[in-house]
Amino acid sequence: MSTVTLNAHAPTGPIADRWDEHRFSVKLVNPNNRRKFTVLVVGTGLAGAAAAASLAQLGYQVKVFTFHDSPRRAHSIAAQGGINAAKNYKNDGDSIHRLFYDTIKGGDFRARESNVYRLAQVSVNIIDQCVAQGVPFAREYGGLLDNRSFGGAQVSRTFYARGQTGQQLLLGAYQALMQQVGLGRVEMHTKTEMLDVVTKDGQACGIVVRDLATGEITSFNGHAVLLCTGGYSNAFYLSTNAMNCNATAAWRAHKRGAAFANPCYTQIHPTCIPANDEFQSKLTLMSESLRNDGRIWVPKSPDDTRPPHQIPEDERDYYLERIYPSFGNLAPRDVSSRAAKRMVDAGHGIGPLQNGVYLDFADAIGRLGEQVVKERYGNLFDMYQRITDENPYQVPMRIYPAPHYTMGGLWVDYNLQTTVPGLYALGEANFSDHGANRLGASALMQGLADGYFVIPTTISDGLAPLLGSPPVPLDDPVFAQTEQEVRDDISRWLSVGGTRSVDHYHRELGKIVWDYCGMGRNRTGLEKALSEIPALRAEFETNVRVTGRADEVNQNLEKVQRVADFFELGELMCRDALHREESCGGHFREEYQTDEGEAQRNDEDFCYVGAWEWKGPDTPQALHREPLEFEYVQLTQRSYK
């Protein structure tokens, strides 16, 4: 029996009026009644901190959970380049409709029109809000805000704070959140990891958490649970995500009934520092903003091992400028990444392992002077030099694509509610707005849109009917039962007593997922992955070694549970990639490409959101389809030429 129905509750009518109409139609909770509702917010990145602060300001009782030692450490902090908004401060033809169009096209026509239009609409409010909070965005000499360009757009609509835009936006949201903590409207639980969602009669009623300092397992109850827990790029092991980023909250929710949508839509970011060796623990992103001034090239002849400055101009292939003259180095991420892969695969790779392409600033330094380049990108250049011991002012950077962001995630409706009533997903944790490929500077926009503007409006629609009913009490058996399942799981991991570390298995899993479900995918590879992952998982479950106890700080215990979830999720990524017999955005099936090697969609058969329903540990998930309809954007072959 299926419990999942995908009703997007997406409004109809003229697209520009839909969000307004929807705001008018949602049920409201009167300000005096809001304190009767408890909302649990899991995760304190842009989406979580913004949502928690905004809901507390409205008067709801908010409890916040993060596994970090401080809410300010969430991985949103590492976003470098910027945040898009349709302000048209540059008078270069931007508009809400253009941001909407660019985002839909950038996502290769695999996102919901209503959601994306709303995102473009509230983008302008986000900038206002952040500036008022004191986010020190870059300014021009007249004191007004500066903008730069990002991939997939021909306008300058990206606001930025040096190379630390995510940090500054997150600190803004964090500070707003801490103010509410000080006012007693938010209860903050740091070093607290969510390990399960509790449901009663199909409705989310709380969560089970582990105190990472003491190991204590407890439950919290509430009228609504918001998962703002980020993406799952660490399924690849090596990614630009922070070490502790994980999919556990989202995955446990999936196993409690929340459909997981488009898991194969993963973003491989074109500009990262190439991997070095076995011991590498993660990859480092070099902001897309660098492509404003940096030029990407490889030697024209394969296996050219001369140092870059000895390769004359006419023996270089500035391949993005050559293939995509109108967008050039600012072609979107999926397109640029695949082009880099094609170059490296064809033997044009550079660097000691021949696994990169050049990102060259010589022209920019010649044109603008070193000082200007330093002002724009100084901290990124320093970061690069520290890691590689090479000076990018003198030698071109070496870059290569790396897993960075996941467009897939928990399926949500227009209200951001998952298929489990009372359970919501915000930010990267949901699947909603980026389709099959996210444009640069749009993740910060979406996280903050969901947190500051969407959920504070839509949550009342779910809460209003619950007025007068207290949350399910903690002594209800559903809590004890879920807690027991979590405890059993922990004891099981501690008692395996195998021989290999958790990291070993994570690395091995990552290799499989990267090789067969990375930048290029095909049927044979995916089928291979689908037989290798379960085999490796069986070994992991019987041969992993977790030392220490459950009732203390135990980082390996934290990790083993996250990796266990990556195993199941990695499998679903491959299954989703196998079923989607087309190429779109970040999902590139080698069997489905144009003569020029670009992604070839199949709108006839695959113009839908693929949402998977958990059917138990021994049965494959079942696929549900939410058809995508386009009224305002014409489906075309995406072109950046």
Partner 1 sequence: MKLTLKIWRQEGPRAEGRFESYEVPNVNEEMSFLEMLDGLNERLVEDGQEPITFDSDCREGICGTCGITIDGKPHGPWPGAATCQLHMRAFSDGDVITLEPWRAAGFPVMKDLMVDRTAFDTIVEAGGYISVDTGAAPDANEIPVPKPVADAAMDAAACIGCGACVAACPNSAAQLFTSAKLAHLNLLPQGQAERFRRTEDMVETMETFFGSCTNYGFCQEACPKEIPIDFIALMNRDYLKAKLKNRKLAGRQG
Which residue lies nearer to partner 1 by CB, 231 or 456?
456
- If one asks whether residue 290 binds partner 1 (CB under 8 A), the answer comes out as no
Nearer to partner 1, 213 or 346 (CB): 213
CB of 320 to partner 1, least distance (A): 25
* Distance of closest approach, residue 627 Cβ to partner 1, in angstroms: 34
Question: Among 89, 318, 393, 630, which residue interacts with partner 1 (rule: CB under 8 A)?
Answer: 89
Cβ proximity to partner 1, 93 vs 184, nearer residue: 184
Q: How far is the CB of 436 from partner 1 (least distance, A)?
A: 27
Residue-level length of the chain? 641
Could you tell me which residues come within 8 angstroms of residue 118 by beta carbon, excluding any fewer than 6 positions away?
Answer: 18, 19, 449, 454
User: Residue 209 CB, nearest distance to partner 1 (Å)?
Assistant: 17
The structure tokens listed for 545 are 């070694």
Does residue 410 belong to the site contacting partner 1 (CB under 8 A)?
no
Compute the least distance from the CB of residue 498 to partner 1, in Å.
9
By CB under 8 A, tell whether 501 contacts partner 1. Answer: yes
Q: What is the amino acid identity at position 595? A: D
Binding to partner 1 (CB under 8 A) within 97-126 occurs at 125
Q: Does 441 bind partner 1 (CB under 8 A)?
A: no
Helix axes 477-494, 555-579, angle to 10 degrees: 100
**Among 98, 118, 333, 580, the one annotated catalytic:** 333
Interface with partner 1 (CB under 8 A), residue from 347, 470, 473, 548: 548
Q: Which of 232, 236, 377, 453 binds partner 1 (CB under 8 A)?
A: 453
Main-chain phi, psi angles of 503, to 5 degrees? -60, -40
Nearer to partner 1, 133 or 154 (CB): 133
Give least dist CB 246 to partner 1, A: 11
Contact present, 312 and 301 (Cβ < 8 Å): no
**Secondary structure (DSSP) of 254-273:** HHTT--EE-TT-EEEEEEEP
| Residue 333 annotated among the catalytic residues of the structure | yes
What would the DSSP string read from start to end of 423-451?
EEE-GGGB--SSTTSPPTT-HHHHHHIII
Residue 569 Ramachandran class (φ > 0 left, ψ -120 to 50 alpha, else beta): alpha
Question: Per rule CB under 8 A, is residue 591 in the interface with partner 1?
Answer: no
- Is the Cβ of residue 56 or residue 569 nearer to partner 1 in the bound state? 56
364-383 residues in contact with partner 1 (CB under 8 A) are 382-383
**By CB under 8 A, residue 480 contacts partner 1:** no
143 is a contact residue toward partner 1 (CB under 8 A): yes
Is 179 a binder of partner 1 (CB under 8 A)?
A: yes
Enumerate residues 6+ apart whose C-beta is below 8 A from 114: 8, 10, 11, 15, 18, 414
> Nearest Cα to 6, choosing from 603, 622, 454?
622
The least CB distance from residue 136 to partner 1, in Å, is 4
- Tell me: does residue 218 bind partner 1 (CB under 8 A): no
| Residues 216, 535: Cα–Cα separation, whole Å | 33
Residue pointed to by tokens 């990169």: 356
- Contact present, 344 and 357 (Cβ < 8 Å): yes
Q: Which of 13, 14, 134, 470 binds partner 1 (CB under 8 A)?
A: 134
Binding mask 42-61 for partner 1 (x = CB under 8 A): --------x--xx--x----
- Encoded one letter per residue, x for contact with partner 1 by CB under 8 A and - for no contact, window 145-174 reads x---------------xx-x--xx--x--x
Angle at 458 between CA 447 and CA 207, to 5 degrees: 70
Q: Report how far residue 417's alpha carbon sits from residue 428's, in angstroms, rounded to the nearest whole number.
A: 14
Q: Using CB under 8 A, which of the segments 464-472, 478-486, 552-560, 613-621 binds partner 1?
A: 552-560
- Tell which one of 151, 392, 456, 462 touches partner 1 (CB under 8 A): 456
Q: Which of residues 522-541 bind partner 1 (CB under 8 A)?
A: none
Q: How far is the CB of 1 from partner 1 (least distance, A)?
A: 41
Give the span between the Cα atoms of 369 and 335, in whole angstroms.
30
141 lies in the site for partner 1, by CB under 8 A: yes
Tell me: does residue 244 bind partner 1 (CB under 8 A).
yes
Of the pair 200, 507, the CB lying nearest partner 1 is at: 507
Q: Contacts by 475-483 with C-beta closer than 8 Å and gap 24+?
A: 476/200, 476/205, 478/198, 478/199, 478/200, 478/205, 479/198, 479/206, 479/208, 479/219, 479/221, 482/196, 482/198, 482/208, 482/219, 483/208, 483/217, 483/218, 483/219
| Residues 388-407 within binding reach of partner 1 (CB under 8 A) | 389
For residue 396, the 8-state DSSP code is P
Q: Could you tell me the end-to-end alpha-carbon distance of the chain, in angstroms, rounded to an integer?
A: 48
To the nearest whole angstrom, how small is the minimum distance from the Cβ of residue 177 to partner 1? Answer: 9
Instruction: Supply 600's token pair.
Output: 């070839």
Is residue 281 within the footprint of partner 1 (CB under 8 A)? yes
Query: Is residue 355 within the footprint of partner 1 (CB under 8 A)?
Result: no
Cβ atoms of 438 and 405 closer than 8 Å: yes
Number of residues binding to partner 1, judged by CB under 8 A: 83
Residue type, 121: Q
**Residues tagged active-site:** 333
